[in-house]
Amino acid sequence: MERLPGFRDFYPEPLPHNDVWSADARQHIFEQWRKVARRYGFREYDGPPLEPLELFTTKSGEEIVGQLFDFEDKGKRHVSLRPEMTPTLARMVAAHERNYKKPIKWFAIPQLFRYEKQQKGRLREHFQFNADLIGETDPAADAELIALLIDALRAFGLTAEDFVIRLSSRNAWQDFFKQGGGDPANEYEFFQTIDKLERNSPEETEQKLTALGFSAAAVNDFIAAGKPTAELASILENLAARGLKDFVKVDYKVIRGLAYYTGVVFEAFDRKGEFRAIAGGGRYNNLVKLISGGKVDLPALGFGMGDVVLVELLKARGLLPKFDSPMDVFVTIEDESLRGISLKLVQDLRVAGYAVDYPLVPTKPDKQFKRAQELKVAHTVRAESDAYVRIRNLKTREEVVAGFEGVANHLG
């Protein structure tokens, strides 16, 4: 039986094949994400992987709605696997925001599902680090979140030479659209056209822009000028004060596909332009209000960073560590009459916090020793009688005999 296209199996290292995903690399990535989020004072939350369909059809936008894994459940509810975390977060915040001091700073590492065409950097399931800040309109919040994004990438050893945050603003585009006499009813379509500038052919873009009453030349000039809005200038200044100026640049080609963004938007890309976006986010000041049916109105912003492009990039830059998970101790059992006391030894050492393995069934001594080496243990321990054990340091080859109680003293 094959797994479904676009889904992954994660194997422990060493990997049996180049094409499979590493469970150890995944763990490493989650650990770095969690560490950085905590350094910035973000708390972890989670929600259900399955949600009512309307949560995603309300305001995520056509593109993502077309990719939903949705179905009718046995209770005749129309449900969907989550394609993103933001609507769930908006619902959760709206339900209990009174219990939390503002700004709310939360992060999550959900597995998300999108029925996309499988290609480099895009699968039908991925894990996404989400960090969101709710309850603050000042651009200082945007700068703080972007700093977190930069540090989340630096945690893997990536530098300003490897990636850049392209910073933009839907407000800037909104003004451009208004000043150019655009029909408000077409604004989202205009945003979608800008979002696809780099993916569609110049002819197709030109045709779309003309239909909306704009010239490609005016759009290109606006992008080339890249004049920061007051809000963007304030974010750049804030990041410069932290010494993070080299990680960001204003780039109005970024506008983001999702429908709920309201102001500042940004995406992280590798500098060489070999990969798809590593992360994307922005302000969504109306989503909490919309999802709570007008009951709660809180400004918000956040970003999502996927694990797929990140792993591709880290692999390409040689930044994934060598994963090896050595055990501490192998308890050898050469005399089966001592199996009972050996099991007690195994258990005591595990309770004391050591990673311990042993032969499950009677096994020849040379095979046991080979297994101990494969597990890269630092020590082997063997019960010699019901009172004494022999401890061997595999590196120094030193051996000591100790009483049962004293084993830990010799394990370092």
380 forms part of the interface with ligand HAM (CB under 6 A) = no
Residue 55 to residue 369: CA distance in whole angstroms: 57
Name the minimum Å distance from CB 279 to ligand HAM.
Answer: 5
Q: Is 308 in the site for ligand HAM (CB under 6 A)?
A: yes
280 lines the binding site for ligand HAM (CB under 6 A): yes
* Alpha-carbon span 158 to 181, nearest angstrom: 43
Residue 142 binds to ligand HAM (criterion: CB under 6 A): no
Is residue 114 within the footprint of ligand HAM (CB under 6 A)? yes
Residue 130 in the binding site for ligand HAM (CB under 6 A)? yes
Nearer to ligand HAM, 30 or 404 (CB): 30
Cis geometry, peptide bond prior to residue 321 (ω within 30 degrees of 0): no
Q: How far apart are the first and last CA of the chain?
A: 47
| Rounded Cα gap, residues 404 and 409, in angstroms | 11
> 261 near 172, Cβ under 8 Å?
no
Structure tokens, 332? 């050898």
Residue number, 103 or 304, with CB nearest to ligand HAM: 304
Does the protein bind ligand HAM through residue 279 (CB under 6 A)?
A: yes
The DSSP secondary structure of 241-259, one letter per residue, reads HTT-GGGEEE-TT---S-T
Tell me the closest approach of the beta carbon of residue 304 to ligand HAM, in angstroms: 3
- Fill in the per-residue mask, 74 to 93: x = in contact with ligand HAM (CB under 6 A), - = not in contact: ----------xxx-------
CA distance 66 to 61: 9
Helix (H, G, I), strand (E, B) or coil at 297: coil
Contact between 303 and ligand HAM by CB under 6 A: the answer reads: yes
253 binds ligand HAM (CB under 6 A): no
Angle at 394 between CA 392 and CA 396, to 5 degrees: 95
187 binds ligand HAM (CB under 6 A): no
Residue 86 or residue 342: which is nearer to ligand HAM going by CB?
Answer: 86
Give residues in contact with ligand HAM (CB under 6 A).
84-86, 114, 116, 122-123, 126, 128, 130, 132, 258, 277-281, 302-306, 308-309
